[in-house]
A and B are shown apart, each in its own frame.
Chain A
């Protein structure tokens, strides 16, 4: 009997895709991984909407309404949801804008920036509205596992995924727990 593969979805919300780069740093271990799992919605597959999944891996925090929408979709479709990286876990670098009013951030970028011509704040209806503050994802939905790092190293991801797939408790060695 062929064992059916676990379905995995991944996404990057308000992150820099660095965690996904780290995922790709698994290198040849990706072959081992794809023996065991099948990727559903993910930047790696370009599937736009997730089906029912066993594991969801979320990079990035919540900074706009689309992020919230995607996160709620992941929570609804994924049995296990994992917060990967500093932004998903604590808001990270994008959350440093929480020190300022959103209006000030937009004006600094779009009306006071250097070399701007006909400066205006973008307001196309296609652009998701920004939230007043950036938040970590556990403030919005229940998260089952946290994998810290900026980004977590490929080794940390591999330790984590291997233990998770084996149904073991997650125990990361000291050198694989990093907040930076």
Chain B
């Protein structure tokens, strides 16, 4: 077929190849669709729903919906933005996202997407769940209060590191991240700070120890420029304020 396949995103033409999703095609064409559980290096998960868009009149997750010729995709319309803000607000009240006390603040993808979406307040009633902090590993810290169950660490540890350090246990509101050892402690695993799983967290759940405030608050990745301009923290090198260690 000589004609190039394409769909429209907010009126702009987006070319794609067979097998691409709306998200991957949009990213390849340089268009940003907000996302948290999606990372181009991994199989889409479709769990956070932040990337939802209106495709031919239906709300769908752009990271799991295959691109098809002639689709009309709407992302930056108020109806979608409103729903996206609602999803973000639910993510915020479901955990304990205390930005003023979090060393990831300013380089946190959850926070950055919420800034981008114009979320001013969490709106809903806070759950204030009681979740533990695991500081047993010499180089990394896990604060389960900030986990949004994106499973990026699960996928990275299983698919890239070949270690299976993380898993999500329980169902529904009881679903939670666990560390795959009898004690449940990260220190008892062969997890290493250079593992892929240490670099992909879109929140401040998995943190590198000893370097939390090397870049002062106010001078971080998302403090001056929005995420649609600077990109995902997990995709950027440490020297550029990101989390990538290679």
Chain A residues in contact with chain B, CB under 8 A?
83, 86, 89-93, 95-96, 98-99, 133, 135-136, 138-139, 143, 146-148, 150, 174-175, 177-180
B residues 117-167 in Cβ contact with A at 8 Å: 118, 120-123, 125-126, 128, 130
Q: Assuming A174-B115, A175-B224, A180-B217, is B101 touching A135 (CB within 8 A)?
A: no
Q: CA A93 – CA B92 in complex, angstroms?
A: 15
User: How far apart are A103's CB and chain B's nearest CB, in angstroms?
Assistant: 15
Whether A174 contacts B226 by the Cβ 8 Å rule is yes
Whether A96 contacts B98 by the Cβ 8 Å rule is yes
- B205-239 CB mask vs A (1 if < 8 Å, else 0) is 00000000000010000011110000000000000
Chain B residues in contact with chain A, CB under 8 A?
92, 96-102, 105-106, 111, 114-115, 118, 120-123, 125-126, 128, 130, 217, 223-226
Partner of A138 from B98, B115, B121 at Cβ < 8 Å: B121
Please indicate the chain A residues that have their CB under 8 angstroms from the CB of B97 in the complex: 90
User: How far apart are A125's CB and chain B's nearest CB, in angstroms?
Assistant: 29
User: How far apart are A26's CB and chain B's nearest CB, in angstroms?
Assistant: 19
Q: CA A20 – CA B86 in complex, angstroms?
A: 29
Per CB-CB distance, the 3 closest pairs between chain A and chain B, nearest first, are: A179-B99, A146-B121, A150-B100
Q: CA A93 – CA B98 in complex, angstroms?
A: 7
Q: CA A99 – CA B121 in complex, angstroms?
A: 21
Give the dominant DSSP class at B's interface.
Answer: loop
Whether A180 contacts B121 by the Cβ 8 Å rule is no
Whether A179 contacts B226 by the Cβ 8 Å rule is no
Q: Assuming A99-B96, A147-B120, A179-B99, is B130 touching A90 (CB within 8 A)?
A: no
Q: CA A149 – CA B147 in complex, angstroms?
A: 22
- Chain B residue nearest to A92 in the complex (CB): B100
- Of A90, A138, A146, A177, most B-chain CB atoms within 10 Å: A90
Whether B122 contacts A89 by the Cβ 8 Å rule is yes
17 CB contacts below 8 A, A to B, read A90-B97, A90-B121, A90-B122, A91-B126, A92-B98, A93-B101, A98-B128, A136-B121, A136-B122, A143-B121, A174-B115, A174-B226, A175-B223, A177-B120, A179-B111, A180-B100, A180-B217
Q: CA A178 – CA B102 in complex, angstroms?
A: 13
Please indicate the chain A residues that have their CB under 8 angstroms from the CB of B122 in the complex: 89-90, 136
Please indicate the chain B residues that have their CB under 8 angstroms from the CB of A96 in the complex: 96, 98, 101
Please indicate the chain A residues that have their CB under 8 angstroms from the CB of B118 in the complex: 177
Please indicate the chain A residues that have their CB under 8 angstroms from the CB of B125 in the complex: 139
User: How far apart are A89's CB and chain B's nearest CB, in angstroms?
Assistant: 5
Q: CA A180 – CA B111 in complex, angstroms?
A: 10
Whether A90 contacts B126 by the Cβ 8 Å rule is yes
Whether B99 contacts A83 by the Cβ 8 Å rule is no
Whether B106 contacts A95 by the Cβ 8 Å rule is no
Please indicate the chain A residues that have their CB under 8 angstroms from the CB of B105 in the complex: 179-180
Please indicate the chain A residues that have their CB under 8 angstroms from the CB of B128 in the complex: 91, 95, 98-99, 133
Please indicate the chain B residues that have their CB under 8 angstroms from the CB of A139 in the complex: 125-126
Q: Assuming A93-B98, A148-B121, A175-B224, is B217 touching A135 (CB within 8 A)?
A: no
